Amino acid sequence: MIRQVLYSLFKKPATNLYPAQKLEMPKGYRGKLVFYPEKCIGCKMCMKDCPTGAITINKIAEKKFEAVIDLGKCIYCAQCVDSCIKKALEVTKDVTLAQLDDKKLKVVFGSDSENNRTEKQAP
């Protein structure tokens, strides 16, 4: 018993001191989605296959699309990524998604007039 107590006192903790220590997620981890508007052709296969209705693709101009993703509804299954033949969606290892205001979980991924990728909260 004493041996076990001493061992536990000096061994490295099994948990991480998050958020003080950054988490390194394993390869293949399915975290926050990113959308590449320049690759999207607006076929909406991602929308059709999403089991929770978390993703919406909107046409914003000729051959220009934005993705509205509700990170609160998303179950991070990556079905939309698999369904996208143009590789316009990708999962990242980003897990820092908690918000006090649930409106902040609705994110619009699009592009600005210079075709730079943008990410903003839905109105």
Nearer to ligand SF4, 16 or 92 (CB): 92
CB atoms within 10 A of CB 66: 19
* Interaction mask 15-34, ligand SF4, x per CB under 6 A: ------------------x-
Structural element, H or E, at residue 45: helix 45-49
* Binding of residue 106 to ligand SF4 (CB under 6 A): no
> Is 52 among the residues that bind ligand SF4 (CB under 6 A)?
yes
**Which of these segments, 13-21, 83-91, 94-102, 109-117, binds ligand SF4 (CB under 6 A)?**
83-91
Nearest residue (CB) to ligand SF4, 5 versus 83: 83
Spatial separation of the C-alpha atoms in residues 2 and 117, rounded to whole Å: 59
**Residue 82, CA atoms < 13 Å, CB-side half-sphere:** 8
Torsion (CA) 116, 105, 122, 103 in degrees, nearest 10: -150
- Residues near ligand SF4 (CB under 6 A) are 33, 40-46, 50-52, 54-55, 57, 69, 74-80, 83-84, 86, 88-89
